[in-house]
């Protein structure tokens, strides 16, 4: 699996052996936007076209296109984990948000 990025949108790409094409889907949005190509150049052009078409289609129907991610993450964790994370952030001299961003960024590499 590979990732492509264009205009802030990312896409997951896989090779479909049965059809002999590369197939992709824009990730991180609620809408389903797919594309495919038989070569890297064709796939790249199809991805760019899919993103541009998605943005234009949303404008045409008067709605904002989904942004890949807002930057806000909310999740629940065990109180013990919360306490250890808050302590680690305090000891590092940063806010819990800053600490969590660093940890998540490193884990996502």
Are 37 and 15 within 8 A, CB to CB? Answer: no
Give the pLDDT mean for 85-106.
Answer: 93
Confidence bin at 46 (pLDDT 50/70/90): very high
Q: What's the pLDDT score for residue 1?
A: 55
- Write down the domain spans for the chain: 2-60, 73-109
Q: Write down the mean pLDDT value for the chain.
A: 91
Q: What's the pLDDT score for residue 93?
A: 93
- Residue range 91-100, pLDDT digits in tens: 999 999 999 9
* Cα angle 15-35-107, degrees, rounded to a multiple of 5: 65
Q: What's the pLDDT score for residue 11?
A: 93
pLDDT above 70: residue 80: yes
pLDDT above 80: residue 70: no
Q: What's the pLDDT score for residue 2?
A: 75
Q: What's the pLDDT score for residue 32?
A: 94
CA distance 18 to 71: 38
User: Which tokens hold the place of 1?
Assistant: 């699996």
Full-model pTM = 0.66
């Amino acid at each position: 699996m590979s990732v492509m990025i264009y205009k802030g949108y990312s896409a997951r790409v896989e090779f479909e052996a049965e059809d002999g094409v590369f197939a992709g889907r824009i990730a991180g949005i609620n809408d389903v936007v797919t594309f495919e190509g038989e070569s890297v150049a064709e796939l790249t052009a199809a991805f760019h076209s899919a993103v541009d078409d998605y943005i234009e289609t949303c404008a045409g129907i008067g709605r904002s296109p989904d942004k890949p991610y807002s930057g806000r993450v909310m999740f629940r964790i065990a109180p013990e984990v919360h306490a250890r994370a808050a302590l680690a952030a305090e000891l590092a001299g940063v806010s819990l948000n800053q600490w969590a961003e660093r940890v998540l960024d490193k884990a996502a590499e």
